[in-house]
Structure 1
Amino acid sequence: MTELGSMLPAPCTSDMAYPCNTTSINVVSLSLACSGLALLMAIFLTKKLRSYERGTPEMNKLCDKIKSGARAFLVTEYKYLTMFVFLVFAVLVIIYTLDPPSNLLSLADNPDRLDGIRAGGCFIGGALLSASAGWAGMSVATDANVRTTQAADKQGLSVALRVAFTGGAVMGFTVVGLGLAGLSFFFWLMTLNRSVGDLGGSEHAAARSLIAAVDSLASFGFGASSIALFARVAGGIYTKAADVGADLVGKVEMDIPEDDPRNPAVIADNVGDNVGDVAGMGADLFESFVGSIIAAATLANGNAVKVALPFWIAGAGIVASLFGFFAVSTKDGANQRQLMFALHKGVISSSVLVLAFSAVIVSQFFPGDQSAEGWKIFACIAIGLIAGILIGQATEYYTSYSFWPTQSITQAGVTGPATVIIQGLGIGMMSCVPPVLIIVATILGCNALSGDYGVAMAAVGMLSTLGVTLATDAYGPIADNAGGIAEMAELEERVRETTDALDALGNTTAATGKGFAIGSAVLTSLSLLTAFKDKAQVGVADIGDPVVLSGVLFGAMLPFLFAALTMLSVQKAAGAIIIEVRRQFATIDGLREGTAEADSDRCVAISTQSSVEEMILPGVYAVLSPLMAGLLIGPKCLTGMLGGAIASGMMLAIMMANAGGAWDNSKKYIEIEGACGGKGTTTHKACVVGDTVGDPFKDTSGPSLNILIKLMSMVSLTAAPIIRGWQDWQFWYWGLLPIGLCVIATILVHHYYWKNTQDIAAPIDDVIKDAPLAKDVETPAAEEETS
């Protein structure tokens, strides 16, 4: 313990509002070491993954197509985001560098001319690391898919699970490694040469230095949140547009198997799994991970011990996740319950270890008279960790075909697709009950134990084992791609059966991961809301105040608007894919018979362009809405808006994610277990329609909503120093600029959106008229091409 004690911030013995003498490097010493360990683990797993065989030349050709398509998409997306990042960087530098009149703005008691550079630098750091995490995860996933297929062919289920899980683990350890390393480094950097003035002694000055450093980290979270939102929205639109187009034309109209090489949209569908469910998800949980630490550190109010604690708990979680990774294993011939238990072993073992590590850290951080407070905080960490596991279990119950809810959707397919959709919506709405009860109990319990800081530490505890939790989530798209490669390479049926079993498990783990992400997002957003209230000096926000209530109503509407925009974007992009797939079946001789090759590059290009264009409008609303409310009306209205968005966003996200996952697995229940007559029946086709409706629910709109509420909270926290102490309508004219920009952007993008929608209508009619079903066309009847 002596070596550990030398690294600790010196504990206080009296006034816990300020720390005793300490250094910022002690605050992040363990987190820097553990983040380096996570990155070394990611490198080790990458080398281990490359030791597995890649398979036949045909399999490698398909893998390379998927990889090049995913890279092309991310390069295009990052070009757009680079302009956004540098624009926001310039705005932050200008705002935080200016020394405004004291009667208008109050950035600090003693304004520091470097604050603009610090805020802008943190923003770029968060954005760059978030994008890097997504890129790294995508690169490894597109390499692991073909190796998983080969393992399923030559070595069986257990090895295939290990290969896919290793690919997912690279993503998990990369995210936590980059996130914790970047946050720790920028925190230390923000404490250097900090001008805080003489506040009455070195202890007070040290506290103010820590507060100022943590305030700068809000910009780091803003950068991470921005990339996460755009990556999740664009990736979700891409993957679901291609998936819907491939399913509706291929499986329903053409009556050909899933991932059939004759389907032009199959490659785009597999690309989408990587850019949406790997790169987008990685950026999403990267932001959740760093956001929870920022929220807890902000609420520490300059206390070095409390500032250090979330960094150290996150570092301990990385070590625990290392052990959890090696606990995952199964046997050949395992069923769905046994496969799920194999993954649960990793999560449970890492959870037990992180609790043990947390107990040791708390005992060292809070000795003597402070031990009672320390153990209350430890209880909050444990509650958050347990809450995350319980939310995952509840989500699994509502989305796995091993249980009644999903099976009931399959049974509803006997009477057609309409009843499948009705049953799925009902199951999705019902699934909101357990997570809400768990989150409410967590908030009330942690608040009673340790106040707002306790709630923030519950979020840190929930995300502490993200390394292994994210691995179980990212493994799903790899297994899905492995099945696609097996089908397109025309391998034996037993190989597809193995990959289908892994894919069905991946659907459940993905749904579980989404529930986990939503729960952590709510706790993190609530903590950020509390931090915003403190920084903006809001005081008490009375729900009976018309200004606050108006903000609540406006905020409750925003998730529905956001979900609507993303759903419409999927419909539009999917429409373009459907047109292209129908056109190719109608005009390419021999495509239906398998003697001609589909032009998959065309579908990849359509999905890429559509998704990148359609991510702009939702992103504009997410960033500008908090600024509009805060600058035009005031911080009380913004407080209400954040509360309303968190409440409605949580409900809508859970409903959409779970309904979509249940619809997907109701189809898998038929395809894998042979329920209700098996593949090709009318019940199967009805469930395919339900799965098509659920695709944008679970992979586009639902997952994006948790980023929306976190991004709005992070934008508000970043802007808090600007509107600190404002009264309602005090400086309403400052809101005219963001409102004007929002209106102009809305008009331009809205016009462009509907213009393109109308242009699509005519080609659809032409294709349907000339070739309603390509399977009925022996000689191509349509010669015209659609753009």
Structure 2
Amino acid sequence: MLDLGATSLTIVGIIAGVAIVSLIIAVLLRRQVLAADAGSPRMREIAGAIEEGAQAYLRRQFRTLGIFAVVVFGLLFLLPADPEIKVGRAIAFLFGAGFSAAIGYLGMSLAVRANVRVASAATRADGRTEGARIAFRTGGVVGMAVVGLGLLGAAGVVIFYRGDAPAVLEGFGFGAALLAMFMRVGGGIFTKAADVGADLVGKVEQGIPEDDPRNAATIADNVGDNVGDCAGMAADLFESYAVMLVASLILGKAAMGEQGLILPLIVTAIGALVALLGVVITRVKGQESGLTAIYRGFYVSAVVGVVLAAIAAFVYLPSSFGAIDGVSEDLAGNSGDPRLMVTAAVIIGVVLAGVILWLTGYFTGTTSRPTVHVASTSRTGAATVVLSGIGVGFQSAVYTAGIIAAAICGAFLIAGGHIGLSLFLIALAGCGLLTTVGVIVAMDTFGPVSDNAQGIAEMSGEVDEAGAQVLTDLDAVGNTTKAITKGIAIATAVLAATALFGSYADAVRVALAEIADAGTQVAGGIVGAMVSYEIISPITLVGVILGGATVFLFSGLAIDAVTRAAGAIVFEVRRQFREHPGIMTGQTRPEYGRVVDICTKDSLRELATPGLLAAFAPIAVGFGLGVGPLAGFLAGAIGAGVLMAVFLANSGGSWDNAKKIVEDGHYGGKGSEAHAAVVIGDTVGDPFKDTAGPAINPLIKVMNLVSLLIAPAVVQLSVPADTNHAVRISIALVAAAIAFGAVVASRRRAGQVDTAEDIDNTIATRPHVAGEMEQVAPEPTTRTGSTTGSAGASEPAERR
């Protein structure tokens, strides 16, 4: 086991201290947010309903996922490893899962209290500045917590396990990624089911505004913003942080020994300082756009992060590889300067984040040509809106994938073609990108907080026209920042998956070496093909095809789940409008709780299928076909995953902002046929950009981590030719049965909905499942200012 010197242990101790300080700063920022005015009693009542619904959902979700986590905890003990590593890895899994859940809960719990404060700020003269500050600092709290918990987990494992830390951290990363994937899928199904249902019935059929309190899906829509975009995205970015650390520590130890193990911790610790700087300097000046202030904060903090990382590299590393203790033999003779290489890798990661930020903004921004084109197609109907948005998504995927590929090539060239070093530099590029993770999380949380604030203002009727415009502007900024952070999250996922791919190869190499040391020879024929990495091998190409197919199947399942849940919401909201005519006149209170109930039950039921597919598909391929085809499987998943994720995210973003262009008065404005067309486009894009697309990020990392964990077992059962085949094939068949059994069960649920004779009655008689909610919203009341309509109106406000 590689032991660590006193200097390294001191550095890791300091990093643990930085993590604790980051958490303390998160607490202080949280107090600043909560110190802001919480608005009128009416606003607080509506915000309380949103908070209650979000709390109820997450409590039920965590109870469900807790059972799954306990099962996986037990299964980890079946994998081959030293007893001490087994125990440490399993415990680290629970910590990773727990930290991921905690980050998600923190993101939600503060966002549902900050939204009303942003709405209240809009009623004052400095509403633009103060509202943006509250929304961004809410995200800053979560960003500091991501950095703090990620560093604390990694540093703690290194302190306790020293050189064995990378093996133990596999469990930490796996727990974080698995929980994040479930939270991403479940929250995405919840939020988009409510959003699609609210838009289709409210906007298109009834002609009422998005956040009109007469729409029974309004509260559920706002709840979904928090459990999807806040809780889900925060957990997603935390697992990106954790997984990148895991991969970089594994590769760093293999390439550069002790200093390679510690260096990634130093680079990511710099992110704590960068996050704090970004939160503090991001202030809206005068009448400038909130997006301008956020961009300024991001770029300044990114440049500072590069400078600090370069200083750390030059202070910590020697000027030659030969002077590094524990450097790999093939790297010792490299004539390059490791300090320059590390600095260049960090620069690549930060520049990649900046380019992705610009590129995503170009393809999804309200003033950019692609989105304006999508909006213009609304003049010819919904079909052309959908087609043009799909075209934008396909094209943007090519450019984004090309930029990410260029970054990977850059790291390869800097390493002089050395595979091990290039993989480590790719991981360091990811760590460099994630020095800005605190600011990225703040950017993402800005979106749902400002969106909820606009909804609260609409439902309360207590915000005048000027204040409503402030909230509209903040919401538009939030839509752009959410799209940007999704693009950056995809880039981190690809870098992390590439680094994990290298870690997988290292695990297979070590396992094969142990087999050889034991005197067992690798046989030829089928067994030889199973452990071969030759890409021209037909069996390896089978793995590539299956990896890409899994991404498509996962995406289809996620979108299907939203379709079914959204259909249930549509029927429920229609039923309420039909059976209670007083809802439209403001005399009858909608049954908000029933919609929240349906979203909760359907999202929790549907999240199991994609999760089981992600966990068991690589097990089936690995044990069934071998480590070579499993490598092909991972390559196929990474390649298809990056293209699919960008396509889904940017198509959805362009449809969303095309809708806003029309709602701003272009091509006929609200209530026109063009508006109905872009609303349809937006409802198609909702599950694209907020459910299936973002969930691909943790998907490819979960599959890589599962492969990394099972690689030694696959090698052990593959190489001794005859005795273990039955066991290996049995494991593969069981895993395949679980994965495809979940898919079949999902399709059966779809068939039951498709063949139901009276779906309206089915929905109307559903039992409530979110029993924690007694009452979720106040009575609809008259709205003033720029909010449309009066509660006593007998027809939709926008059509009068």
Instruction: Tell me, yes or no, whether TM beats 0.5.
Output: yes
Summarize the alignment of residues 26-65 of structure 1 with structure 2, pairs less than 5 Å apart: 26=10, 28-65=12-49
2:675 corresponds to? 684
2:522 corresponds to? none
Give the alignment partner of residue 629 of structure 1, picking from 599, 617, 621: 621
Give the alignment partner of residue 703 of structure 2, picking from 705, 712, 717: 712
- C-alpha displacement of 1:183: 2.0
Matched, 1:89 2:73: yes
Summarize the alignment of residues 57-76 of structure 1 with structure 2, pairs less than 5 Å apart: 57-76=41-60
Contact 1:536–1:725 (CA under 8 A) maintained in structure 2 = no
Give the alignment partner of residue 305 of structure 2, picking from 341, 348, 354: 354
Change (3 A) 1:765 1:725: closer
Give the alignment partner of residue 217 of structure 2, picking from 236, 255, 265: 265
State how far apart, in whole Å, the 1-side matches of 2:762 and 2:68 are. 38
Deviation track 1:70-123 (CA, whole Å, cap 9, x = no partner) reads 000001111110000000111112x14xxxxxxxxxx45xxx323321121011
State how far apart, in whole Å, the 1-side matches of 2:397 and 2:746 are. 34
Summarize the alignment of residues 578-589 of structure 1 with structure 2, pairs less than 5 Å apart: 578-589=570-581
State how far apart, in whole Å, the 1-side matches of 2:757 and 2:22 are. 48
1:737 corresponds to? 734
Change (3 A) 1:414 1:746: closer
Q: Indicate the larger mover: 727-736 or 476-485.
A: 727-736
- C-alpha displacement of 1:547: 1.2
Summarize the alignment of residues 184-223 of structure 1 with structure 2, pairs less than 5 Å apart: 184-191=155-162, 210=163, 212-223=164-175
Q: Indicate the larger mover: 41-50 or 360-369.
A: 360-369
State how far apart, in whole Å, the 1-side matches of 2:32 and 2:763 are. 52
Summarize the alignment of residues 330-341 of structure 1 with structure 2, pairs less than 5 Å apart: 330-334=284-288, 338-341=289-292
1:377 corresponds to? 342
Change (3 A) 1:544 1:675: same
2:535 corresponds to? 543
Partner amino acid for 1:566?
A
Give the alignment partner of residue 392 of structure 2, picking from 409, 427, 449: 427
Give the alignment partner of residue 477 of structure 2, picking from 494, 501, 505: 505
1:782 corresponds to? none
Summarize the alignment of residues 420-569 of structure 1 with structure 2, pairs less than 5 Å apart: 420-450=385-415, 451-491=422-462, 492-537=464-509, 541-569=533-561
2:246 corresponds to? 294
State how far apart, in whole Å, the 2-side matches of 1:682 and 1:501 are. 24
State how far apart, in whole Å, the 1-side matches of 2:290 and 2:486 are. 19
1:696 corresponds to? 687
2:94 corresponds to? 124
Deviation track 1:13-50 (CA, whole Å, cap 9, x = no partner) reads xxxx9788447633523431221222112111111011
- C-alpha displacement of 1:745: 4.0
State how far apart, in whole Å, the 2-side matches of 1:35 and 1:671 are. 45
DSSP-derived class of the 2:715 partner: coil
State how far apart, in whole Å, the 1-side matches of 2:237 and 2:194 are. 24
State how far apart, in whole Å, the 1-side matches of 2:613 and 2:102 are. 25
- Identical amino acids, percent of aligned pairs: 38
Contact 1:514–1:657 (CA under 8 A) maintained in structure 2 = yes
Contact 2:139–2:445 (CA under 8 A) maintained in structure 1 = yes
State how far apart, in whole Å, the 2-side matches of 1:297 and 1:389 are. 25
Deviation track 1:691-722 (CA, whole Å, cap 9, x = no partner) reads 11110010001101111111101111122222
DSSP-derived class of the 1:724 partner: helix
State how far apart, in whole Å, the 1-side matches of 2:682 and 2:197 are. 12
Partner amino acid for 1:736?
L
State how far apart, in whole Å, the 2-side matches of 1:39 and 1:301 are. 28
Partner amino acid for 2:56?
A
State how far apart, in whole Å, the 1-side matches of 2:25 and 2:715 are. 43
Partner amino acid for 1:488?
M
Partner amino acid for 1:680?
G
- C-alpha displacement of 1:727: 4.4
Give the alignment partner of residue 228 of structure 1, picking from 149, 161, 180: 180
DSSP-derived class of the 1:465 partner: helix
Matched, 1:671 2:697: no
- C-alpha displacement of 1:65: 0.3
* Structure 1 residues not aligned, in runs of 5+: 1-16, 97-106, 192-209, 768-774, 780-787
Change (3 A) 1:677 1:756: closer
Contact 2:319–2:339 (CA under 8 A) maintained in structure 1 = no
Partner amino acid for 1:737?
V
Change (3 A) 1:48 1:20: closer
Contact 2:217–2:592 (CA under 8 A) maintained in structure 1 = yes
1:104 corresponds to? none
1:596 corresponds to? 588
- C-alpha displacement of 1:753: 4.6
Give the alignment partner of residue 146 of structure 1, picking from 116, 134, 140: 116
Give the alignment partner of residue 344 of structure 1, picking from 276, 295, 298: 295
Change (3 A) 1:20 1:493: closer
Contact 1:30–1:312 (CA under 8 A) maintained in structure 2 = no
Partner amino acid for 1:327?
I
Deviation track 1:367-386 (CA, whole Å, cap 9, x = no partner) reads 34348112111101111111
- C-alpha displacement of 1:765: 11
State how far apart, in whole Å, the 2-side matches of 1:249 and 1:424 are. 22
Give the alignment partner of residue 136 of structure 1, picking from 92, 100, 106: 106
DSSP-derived class of the 2:210 partner: coil
Give the alignment partner of residue 353 of structure 2, picking from 388, 403, 407: 388
State how far apart, in whole Å, the 1-side matches of 2:587 and 2:225 are. 27
2:777 corresponds to? none
State how far apart, in whole Å, the 1-side matches of 2:316 and 2:413 are. 21
Paired residues, number: 718
Deviation track 1:297-317 (CA, whole Å, cap 9, x = no partner) reads 101235111111111111111
Deviation track 1:625-648 (CA, whole Å, cap 9, x = no partner) reads 111111111111110000001001
- C-alpha displacement of 1:653: 0.6
2:235 corresponds to? 283
Give the alignment partner of residue 272 of structure 2, picking from 304, 309, 318: 318
State how far apart, in whole Å, the 2-side matches of 1:390 and 1:740 are. 43
| TM-score normalised by L of structure 2 | 0.87
- C-alpha displacement of 1:760: 7.5
DSSP-derived class of the 1:431 partner: helix
State how far apart, in whole Å, the 1-side matches of 2:63 and 2:45 are. 27
State how far apart, in whole Å, the 1-side matches of 2:452 and 2:400 are. 30
Contact 1:27–1:311 (CA under 8 A) maintained in structure 2 = no
- C-alpha displacement of 1:327: 1.6
State how far apart, in whole Å, the 1-side matches of 2:739 and 2:401 are. 33
DSSP-derived class of the 1:723 partner: helix
Contact 1:528–1:713 (CA under 8 A) maintained in structure 2 = yes
State how far apart, in whole Å, the 2-side matches of 1:496 and 1:440 are. 43
Change (3 A) 1:400 1:58: same
State how far apart, in whole Å, the 2-side matches of 1:502 and 1:439 are. 30
> What RMSD over aligned residues (CA atoms) do the two structures have, in Å?
2.2
State how far apart, in whole Å, the 2-side matches of 1:70 and 1:251 are. 24
- C-alpha displacement of 1:756: 4.4
State how far apart, in whole Å, the 2-side matches of 1:254 and 1:281 are. 32
* Structure 2 residues not aligned, in runs of 5+: 322-335, 416-421, 513-530, 765-790, 796-800
Matched, 1:308 2:262: yes
1:199 corresponds to? none
State how far apart, in whole Å, the 2-side matches of 1:513 and 1:743 are. 32
